[in-house]
Amino acid sequence: MSSFLTSRNVADVLGGITNGVIYSLVALSLVLVWRSTRILNFAQGAMAMIATYVGFAVLAPTTSYWVSMAVAIVAGLLIGGLTERVIVRGLYGKPEINPVVAMVGFLLVLESVAAAIWSTGSRGLPTPFSMVDWQLNHKPVALSPFALYEIVTAVVVMTVIAGLFQFTKLGLRLRAAALAPEVSRLLGVRVGRMLTLGWMLSSAVGAVTAVLVASNYFTGLTPTAMDGVFAFGFIAAAIGGLDSPVGALLSGIALGVILQFVGDYLNSNAIILVALGMLVVSLMVRPNGVFTRSAQRRV
């Protein structure tokens, strides 16, 4: 049993799950803002990065990882709300390309501002758990306390968000405000507040993801730290379906595991090609996402 748990294949599966839950969180943040406003936020990673820098700024006085995490989440909420109110609010009802261009431009602005304020050097956040892999019969198992913390955090966040949309009136209002704003207003739903709240929740989930990424000593925190993670998270969201929180979880983990095997057995340079190939095939077979139910038109 010990030789199996420390084998190469198990190491790839565990490493893939650890990476996959990060992709899942990014995918979930995209699903959140899509389900709430029907807009794809291409600045999601950069907004999360800024929130993490704010959390990092309070780390030196407090020396507390958990305080830094809490501040980053609050900053994410505020950044998401302000972005929706100031930038996105005037784009509702406009051609679909308008918010895409606006968010890509906002991404570039945020990364430039972060580089100007905090420089482009990598900064590491102290972690509350060890990153050293556990040992089994003096052989390493590809799982550390910090990796387990990442997995548990991702599962908890996704469970809360899925429960919010599936079982609460607030989740129903968020979806109604995005899909039928005029009808929702007639039914007493404050659509403007729901749209803002959707962006706030999405940005908060993104902030949690960015803190986890910045805590990894292989990457650290830089103005562009979330770019690659966002790309894989976007692919996971598109494959799973932008209307499916469960799809975000499962697709992110599956993508992480597959890419881990690709990097180990083939070539790390082939990872992005395989990911894009998976995206193309998925969109050809299930354009709305693997885990999204196809809506049937009724006459």
DSSP string across the chain: -HHHHTSHHHHHHHHHHHHHHHHHHHHHHHHHHHHHHS---TTHHHHHHHHHHHHHHTHHHH--HHHHHHHHHHHHHHHHHHHIIIIIGGGTTS-THHHHHHHHHHHHHHHHHHHHHH-SS-B-PPPSS--SPPEETTEE-S--HHHHHHHHHHHHHHHHHHHHHHH-HHHHHHHHHHH-HHHHHHTT--HHHHHHHHHHHHHHHHHHHHHHHHT-TTT-B-TTTTHHHHHHHHHHHHHH-TT-HHHHHHHHHHHHHHHHHIIIII-GGGHHHHHHHHHHHHHHH-TT-TTSPPPPP--
Residue 231 has pLDDT above 90, yes or no: yes
Q: What is the pLDDT of residues 250-292, one digit of tens each?
A: 999 999 999 999 999 988 889 999 999 999 999 899 888 888 7
In a domain, 147, yes or no: yes
Let me know the angle formed at the C-alpha of 201 by 149 and 166, rounded to the nearest 5 degrees. Answer: 85
Q: What is the pLDDT of residues 173-220, one digit of tens each?
A: 877 777 777 777 777 778 788 888 889 999 999 999 999 988 875 667
State the residue range of the domain holding 270: 2-285
Alpha-carbon span 174 to 40, nearest angstrom = 16
The most confident of 22-31, 159-168, 189-198, by mean pLDDT = 22-31
**Residue listed under structure tokens 């090609």:** 273
State the helix-helix crossing angle for 44-57 and 227-240, rounded to 10 degrees: 130
In a domain, 295, yes or no: no
- Give the pair of three-digit tokens for residue 152: 């548990």
In a domain, 117, yes or no: yes
Among candidate residues 45, 69, 66, 23, the one with its CA nearest the CA of residue 202 = 45
Question: Could you tell me the pTM of the whole model?
Answer: 0.89
- When computed from its CA atoms, the radius of gyration of the chain, rounded to whole angstroms, is 19
Alpha-carbon span 262 to 277, nearest angstrom = 13
Residue 298 has pLDDT above 50, yes or no: no
Local confidence band at 111 (pLDDT 50, 70, 90 cut-offs): very high
Check residue 138 and give its pLDDT. 76
Alpha-carbon span 23 to 258, nearest angstrom = 13
Task: Classify burial at 80, counting beta carbons within 10 Å of its beta carbon; exposed 0-12, middle 13-18, buried 19 or more.
Answer: buried
Check residue 230 and give its pLDDT. 94
Query: Contact 202/29 with Cβ under 8 angstroms?
Result: yes
Check residue 125 and give its pLDDT. 75
In a domain, 196, yes or no: yes
Instruction: Report the CATH number that the domain containing residue 10 is assigned in CATH.
Output: 1.10.3470
In a domain, 291, yes or no: no
Check residue 185 and give its pLDDT. 77
Structural domains in the chain (count)? 1
Q: What is the pLDDT of residues 6-15, one digit of tens each?
A: 788 888 999 9
Q: What is the pLDDT of residues 61-97, one digit of tens each?
A: 767 889 889 999 999 999 999 999 999 988 887 888 8
Q: Read off φ and ψ for residue 217, nearest 5 degrees.
A: -70, -10
What residues pair up with 140 in beta bridges, in sequence order?
135
Going from the C-alpha of 54 to that of each of 115, 161, 285, the distances in angstroms are 13, 24, 42
Question: Between these two residues, 148 and 167, which has the higher pLDDT value?
Answer: 148
